[in-house]
């Protein structure tokens, strides 16, 4: 199914949408071209966030003249009414519009955050007011915790739920996604590629697309070639072949469930330790790209930084996947260092 109604928003969305994180890394010109290419292919749902630096501005510039033909979704991680009011105005300006189709409270992943947004003077007050004013059409939420997400969905407040879901993060398929469908809450799937961890992006995309409880999937797309590839998969048959099941099994064995998704929520580290780089290089980057002089330099620099860790634990309190970062970092570096000296790859 290439088009679905997104829960009780009533919006008719193409089931392949656009994730706005990666375009931050492009030049503005290239970013606009990428967004525009998606529009030309017929994609109609564009997700971004106040926190994705230049992403809103670029999407706004790319889609200004076709505003009525697309749905714009953005989000704020502010927990107070005052914070939301300020960020919403910035988002409207950046996106060159006077309304946001889907406005999401960003990353409500634990009880403290949920209590903050519901408190008097909290974020919910501001978004409800903005909805009455017509600045927001539909109120939604994102979370990295399937358990928290269930509570959020059951609150009856939100019209869509955005959650990470992929073949190694399968927890949402047990309870959360069916519950969303039952309660008519639209499901927006982020991180279908596990933050770039998986060996075959097409298989990863098919895995999510084949789940009937997934309404829209928003992979980040960085180039025309990537868009075309994802588009081809989306247009095709989504059933997984035997060799793809084997591939998934291999990734499960290699990555386990304690793998870094490269979301960088653990930053900033006071010692500027490149946490995700260290955690991902051996199992995810080397496999695809091998060793180069740059990579050797990067590993040596990362080791120097890692040696300055003051074990404050701040990174662990921020990681939505509860990774024991302080335990994983030295192990990952030791193994990586060994591979570097012998120039081996996994
Ligand atoms: S525990 Fe180490 S890596 Fe984590 S934030 Fe503190 S200094 Fe950085
Ligand atoms: S360690 Fe956790 S928070 Fe940091 S990038 Fe990896 S998954 Fe994200």
Q: What is the pLDDT of residues 213-260, one digit of tens each?
A: 999 999 988 899 999 999 999 999 999 999 999 999 988 888 877 888
Omega into 178 within 30° of 0, i.e. cis?
no
Q: Could you give the CA distance from residue 162 to residue 208 in angstroms, rounded to a whole number?
A: 13
309 lines ligand 1 (CB under 6 A): yes
Residue 153 in this model has a pLDDT that exceeds 80? yes
Ranges of each domain in the chain: 3-248, 275-342
Task: Give the nearest ligand 2 atom to 265 CA.
Answer: 3
| % of the chain surpassing 90 pLDDT | 77
Q: Could you give the CA distance from residue 72 to residue 68 in angstroms, rounded to a whole number?
A: 10
b/e burial code for range 98-132 (CB count within 10 A of at least 16 → b): ebbbbbbbbbbbbeebbebbeeeebbbbbbeebbe
Mean pLDDT for the chain overall: 93
Q: Is the dihedral of CA 137, 125, 186, 211 positive or negative?
A: positive
Q: What is the pLDDT of residues 1-12, one digit of tens each?
A: 699 999 999 999
Sheet of 160-164: strand order equals: 18-19, 45-47, 71-76, 100-105, 136-142, 160-164, 186-190, 216-217
What is the pLDDT at residue 224? Answer: 95
What distance lies between CA 122 and its chain's CA centroid? 24
337 lines ligand 2 (CB under 6 A): no
Q: What is the pLDDT of residues 303-323, one digit of tens each?
A: 999 999 999 999 999 888 889
Q: What is the pLDDT of residues 201-219, one digit of tens each?
A: 999 999 999 999 999 999 9
Give the number of the ligand closest to the Cα of residue 330: 1
Q: What is the pLDDT of residues 254-269, one digit of tens each?
A: 887 788 888 788 989 9
Q: Could you give the CA distance from residue 265 to residue 317 in angstroms, rounded to a whole number?
A: 10
Task: Give the nearest ligand 1 atom to 266 CA.
Answer: 5
Q: Which of 269, 275, 303, 326 to mutate to test the pocket of ligand 1 (most atoms within 8 A of CB)?
A: 269
Residue 90 pLDDT grade (very low, low, confident, very high; cuts 50, 70, 90): very high
Question: pTM here?
Answer: 0.86
Please tell me which residue, 308 or 292, carries the higher pLDDT value. 308
What is the pLDDT at residue 288? Answer: 65
Q: What is the pLDDT of residues 157-211, one digit of tens each?
A: 999 999 999 998 899 999 999 999 999 999 999 999 887 778 789 999 999 999 9
273 lines ligand 1 (CB under 6 A): yes
Q: Looking at domain 3-248, what is its CATH homologous superfamily?
A: NADP-dependent oxidoreductase domain (3.20.20.100)
């Amino acid at each position: 199914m290439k088009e679905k109604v997104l829960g009780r928003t009533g919006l008719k969305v193409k089931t392949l949408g656009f994730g706005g994180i990666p375009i931050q890394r492009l030049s503005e010109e290239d970013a606009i071209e990428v967004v525009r290419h998606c529009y030309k292919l017929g994609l109609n749902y564009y997700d971004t966030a106040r926190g994705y630096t230049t992403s809103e501005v670029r999407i706004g510039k790319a889609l200004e003249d076709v505003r009525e033909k697309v749905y714009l979704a953005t989000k704020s991680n502010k927990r107070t009414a005052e914070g939301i009011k300020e960020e919403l105005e910035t988002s409207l300006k950046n996106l060159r519009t006077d309304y946001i189709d889907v406005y999401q409270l960003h990353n409500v992943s634990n009880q403290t955050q949920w209590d903050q947004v519901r408190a008097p003077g909290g974020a919910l007050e501001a978004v409800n007011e903005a909805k009455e004013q017509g600045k927001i059409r539909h109120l939604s939420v994102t979370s990295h915790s399937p358990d928290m997400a269930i509570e959020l969905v059951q609150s009856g407040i939100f019209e869509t739920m955005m959650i990470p879901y992929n073949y190694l993060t399968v927890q949402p398929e047990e309870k959360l996604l069916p519950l969303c469908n039952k309660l008519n809450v639209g499901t927006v799937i982020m991180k279908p590629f596990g933050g770039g961890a998986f060996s075959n992006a097409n298989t990863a995309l098919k895995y999510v697309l084949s789940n009937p409880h997934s309404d829209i999937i928003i992979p980040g797309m960085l180039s025309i070639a990537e868009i075309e590839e994802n588009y081809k998969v989306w247009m095709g048959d989504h059933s997984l072949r035997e060799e793809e099941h084997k591939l998934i099994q291999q990734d499960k064995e290699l990555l386990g469930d304690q793998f870094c998704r490269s979301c960088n929520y653990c930053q900033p580290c006071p010692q500027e330790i490149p946490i995700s780089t260290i955690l991902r290089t051996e199992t995810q980057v080397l496999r695809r790209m091998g060793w180069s002089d740059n990579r050797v330099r990067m590993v040596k620099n990362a080791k120097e930084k890692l040696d300055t860790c003051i074990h404050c634990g701040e990174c662990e309190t921020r990681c939505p996947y509860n990774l024991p970062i302080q335990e994983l970092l030295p192990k990952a570096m030791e193994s990586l260092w060994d591979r570097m000296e012998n120039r081996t790859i996994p």
